[in-house]
Amino acid sequence: MHPHLEDYALIGDLQTAALVGRDGSIDWLCLPRFDSAACFAALLGSKENGHWRLAPSSSDARRQRSYRGDSLVLDTVWETSTGTVKVTDFMPQRDRMPDVVRIVEGLSGSVEMRGVLRLRFDYGRVVPWVRQHGGHRVAIAGPDSVWLRTPKRSSTYGKDFSTRSDFTVAAGERAAFVLTWHPSHQPRPRQIEPFEALDTTLEDWHAWSARCRYDGPHRDAVIRSLITLKALTYAPTGGIVAAPTTSLPEELGGVRNWDYRYCWLRDASLTLNSLISAGYLEEAGAWRDWLLRAVAGAPDDLQIMYGLAGERRLPEAELPWLSGYAASAPVRIGNAAVEQRQLDVYGEVLDSFHIARTAGLPAEPHAWNIQRALVDYLESAWREPDEGLWEIRGPRRHFVHSKVMAWVAADRAIRAIEAYPRLRGDVERWRAMRSDIHREVCAEGYDAERGTFTQSYGSTELDAATLLIPRVGFLPPSDPRITGTIDAVRRELSHDGLVRRYSTEGRPIDGLPSGEGTFLVCSFWLADALALTGRRDEARALFERLLALRNDVGLLSEEYDPASRRQLGNFPQAFSHIGLVGTAFGLLDGPGAD
């Protein structure tokens, strides 16, 4: 049985991340990057596919965990019949090679501890050769090498193709384990001092968190979401991954299992907006520079996602040796959606540039040329069908949200020239384009009989993405077409008060078997729309309910199943935490603010 997703916490070093279970087991870790092959893949298979557990030997131990202050340093306190210990897990921001540090500290009495390290490279498939070298355990297989440094007091030995450590910790004693990855052809990696690394890591995170300018009633939730978004940033390039995991299912036992360890322009743009709203312009500048590098080239060749450094080829494959989380197969790496046309990303990108410009981010001389090229390309491309926001793996359609975001692209380009007349562009053509899109969407994407915008032209299906129409300025919140759409989405896409993306019952338009959970960011969008239309009490109530869905350390996955009361989908999910931050600021800054 796999633990619930709520049972996991996140640690990371701004280049990769690990999931640590309540039971003290690290069940997911890709080294050296988010998108590298996992060396711990128990999350998607069994313990035989790799994990690292460090916990009391006693089976009756009780635990409680939390992040230490506003950081990504995880403390788990274990209480046993003989004493109490604290296990501190973290990944220091690296100099060269990635380290995972686990410090055991005796708080009272004495506690017998056991560590079980089972390394399995290449997503749980390859058993490494393990040897001893200078007091370390060294595991090597092909290009991968991992060095394990254990405390001198521990008895460390091999058993059942794993490395085990038995030791006792008394009150006031500390013992540190350090796992370091490096390329197997290179010399032995530099050793870090684990206790100094802990102090430095805490200082780094606390200094970063202190820069947040949100000062409202939900500060703890906002800070935790911002830390999570920061943790999903690949520091060397500024790219932002959608999630640190792959193939966590949207329905238990289902096939909607995708790899999210890449940089979606949409998700990254919205992450940028959240960071800017909280005052993090440095991260905004790094992401903008990543974006300019990634999209350089012909505007008609814009991809919806890229690798961490802007790589374009992300071929999709299945890993048949992994059974999948809760038997949800197949397990996939790579993502074939990279080949899709999604016109809305042009709007998200142009909107992000607009927000960054308004926030005072210094301009890059060539950034406007790229933006202008994107808008010029959209002048004809907006009339074409696409796969849409939800990456429908089926026939292309004229999705309403895609058209609205094309309108946003034109609108933001026009605003840029109006605010900065020195910028060059055919603003009259863009104004005509903006008017044409608006006219067509209102005529073709609106169902007058039901009083709602639909998912695509000529369709009766609804789409939660239409809740964004007032937020991007396409129509004012007071427009009856907006209130009608909100009511229709609540009526037809709600499940126990939470919102699905679109209907997946019967014969879903995406061509996949029916069934998935409610999409958390869509529920945040509903809260935003309610607030914008003056229903702030309803918005607050929904927001409080969504906050209650976070796990004990404040993390959200992609979806939530009200029936099983479980989080679903890749975890933690940037989109969900973006929604949380946006709604918190909306309730704080909007009309009738808290």
The count of other CB atoms within 10 Å of the CB of residue 195 is 12
**365 and 484 part of one domain:** yes
**529 and 409 part of one domain:** yes
Smallest CA-to-CA distance from 130 within 154, 156, 163 is with 163
Smallest CA-to-CA distance from 571 within 548, 547, 555, 560 is with 555
Residue 195 lies in a domain: no
Residue 197 lies in a domain: no
CA of residue 424 relative to chain centroid, distance: 36
Residue 352 lies in a domain: yes
Q: Read off the pTM.
A: 0.95
**237 and 159 part of one domain:** no
Half-sphere exposure of 337 (CA within 13 A, CB side): 27
Residue 390 lies in a domain: no
**117 and 237 part of one domain:** no
Nearest-angstrom CA–CA distance, 39 and 31: 7
| Domain range for 145 | 5-187
pLDDT digits (tens, 9 = 90+) for 187-239: 888 899 999 999 999 999 999 999 999 999 999 999 999 999 999 999 999 88
Q: Are 21 and 11 in contact (CB under 8 A)?
A: no
Residue 267 Cα distances to 208, 430, 579, angstroms: 22, 26, 11
In degrees rounded to 5, what are phi and psi of residue 379?
A: -55, -35
Cβ neighbours for 448, distance < 8 A, ≥ 6 positions apart: none
Smallest CA-to-CA distance from 257 within 268, 245, 246 is with 246
**465 and 582 part of one domain:** yes
Q: Are 426 and 432 in contact (CB under 8 A)?
A: no
Residue at which a domain ends, from 187, 202, 234: 187
pLDDT digits (tens, 9 = 90+) for 408-457: 999 999 999 999 888 899 999 999 999 999 999 999 999 999 999 999 99
Smallest CA-to-CA distance from 488 within 496, 504, 477, 499 is with 499
Write the burial class of residue 66 (CB in 10 Å: 0-12 exposed, 13-18 middle, 19+ buried): middle
Work out how many domains the chain is built from and give that number. Answer: 2
- Tell me what pLDDT residue 594 has: 59
- DSSP character for 299? G
- Give the DSSP H or E segment for 581: helix 574-589
- DSSP character for 133? E
Nearest-angstrom CA–CA distance, 370 and 350: 10
**153 and 17 part of one domain:** yes
Nearest-angstrom CA–CA distance, 270 and 521: 12
**51 and 171 part of one domain:** yes
**79 and 9 part of one domain:** yes
**563 and 481 part of one domain:** yes
pLDDT digits (tens, 9 = 90+) for 138-192: 999 999 999 999 998 888 888 889 999 999 999 999 999 999 999 999 988 889 9
Nearest-angstrom CA–CA distance, 302 and 586: 31
Residue at which a domain ends, from 171, 187, 203: 187
**148 and 70 part of one domain:** yes
Nearest-angstrom CA–CA distance, 322 and 328: 10
Among left, alpha and beta (phi > 0; psi -120 to 50; other), residue 461 is: beta
- Tell me what pLDDT residue 90 has: 98
CA of residue 11 relative to chain centroid, distance: 13
**103 and 238 part of one domain:** no
In degrees rounded to 5, what are phi and psi of residue 422?
A: -70, -20
CATH code: domain of residue 412: 1.50.10.10
Residue 31 lies in a domain: yes
Residue 251 lies in a domain: yes
Residue 23 lies in a domain: yes
Among left, alpha and beta (phi > 0; psi -120 to 50; other), residue 567 is: beta
- Tell me what pLDDT residue 360 has: 85
Averages of pLDDT over each 10 residues, the chain, 594 residues: 95 98 98 98 97 94 96 98 97 93 98 97 96 86 95 87 94 97 90 96 97 94 96 92 96 92 88 87 84 78 90 95 96 94 92 88 82 92 94 89 97 94 92 98 97 96 96 96 97 93 68 73 97 96 98 97 94 96 88 56
Residue 208 lies in a domain: no
Write the burial class of residue 457 (CB in 10 Å: 0-12 exposed, 13-18 middle, 19+ buried): middle
Residue 313 Cα distances to 15, 305, 307, 332, 339, angstroms: 20, 10, 8, 15, 9
**581 and 494 part of one domain:** yes
Task: Supply the DSSP string of 339-398, one letter for each residue.
Answer: G---THHHHHHHHHHHHHHHTTPPPPTTHHHHHHHHHHHHHHHTTS-B-TTTT-SSS-B-
CATH code: domain of residue 31: 2.70.98.50
